[in-house]
Amino acid sequence: MRRWYSLNFNISLDRNQKPKTWIDIFIIDTIVREVVLQKKAEIKFWRIHRRWADDEHGHELTLDCFTNEEAASEIKSLINNSDYFKILQNRNLLQKFEMVPADTESKTAIINDTGWPEPLKESWLHYINGCCEMFLNLIGVLKKDIKTDINKTSDISEIEKSCIELERKLTEIWKSHGNNAFFHHINAIFGYQQLRIQPQLWARF
């Protein structure tokens, strides 16, 4: 039986400095890409979640996979044996890596927004899975113009420079085109109806 397995990468965070969000990009482009390519047949849904709040979790990137126990164990081993994972470990850029299974087999167990109606919860999994596939593909397309191939070097300074440049390009696309590429087109699917952004603020895109 399938359930959600959360693979949590807890990234070293200096509270007096900005979080090293370039590490997220490195993990997504290398480790997450390996998992998705090699284990896609066993994963029903997957998603990426990023956070760097000033709390007990700190800077954390999570790969959530809806899969069976055997595949989850194989995914964890794949990550632990990844050369990219070892690059981060050897440079003390990871504080902790763990896999946490959901305590229920419910497909919607990873959705913490309890106010959502059940039909939305179940259908949203297809949406977030597609968003993450798009993001992974976008990284793959953008990195073709990056001088250093981060998949072929262990030089952490070169990896950092390349991932910072990748993240800059991603942010530029989000800021310049996100309104039309993402918000407008999903708004069109929903018939250009307004949505509530804040309690007293409605908008369409």
- Compute the distance between CA of residue 48 and CA of residue 65 in angstroms, rounded to an integer: 9
Output the pLDDT for position 198: 79
Helix (H) or strand (E) holding 133: helix 118-142
Pairing, β 201-203 against β 2-11: unpaired
Q: What is the pLDDT of residue 113?
A: 81
pLDDT, position 190 = 96
- Are the C-beta atoms of 3 and 101 separated by less than 8 Å? yes
| Torsion 40-125-135-4 (CA) sign | negative
Query: At 46, which helix (H) or strand (E)?
Result: strand 45-52
Q: CB-based burial of residue 62 (10 Å sphere; 0-12 exposed, 13-18 middle, 19+ buried)?
A: middle
In this structure, the strands spanning 195-198 and 201-203 are: antiparallel
Sequence spans of domains, the chain: 2-101
Specify the pLDDT at position 114: 78
pLDDT of residue 144: 92
Fold of 2-101: Alpha-Beta Plaits (3.30.70)
User: Do residues 44 and 66 make contact, with C-beta atoms less than 8 angstroms apart?
Assistant: yes
pLDDT of residue 57: 81
Phi, psi of 105 (to 5 degrees): -90, 5
Average pLDDT by consecutive 10-residue portion of the chain (205 residues)? Answer: 97 88 98 97 97 88 98 98 96 96 92 88 96 98 90 92 97 96 95 88 79
For 44, residues 6+ apart whose C-beta sits below 8 A from its C-beta are 2, 66, 67
What pLDDT does residue 196 have? 87
Radius of gyration of the chain (CA): 18
* Cα gap 114→120, rounded to integer Å: 11
CA gap 26, 162 in Å, rounded: 9
Provide the token pair at 31.
């480790």
- List, in sequence order, the alpha helices (H) in 28-105: 33-39, 69-80, 83-90
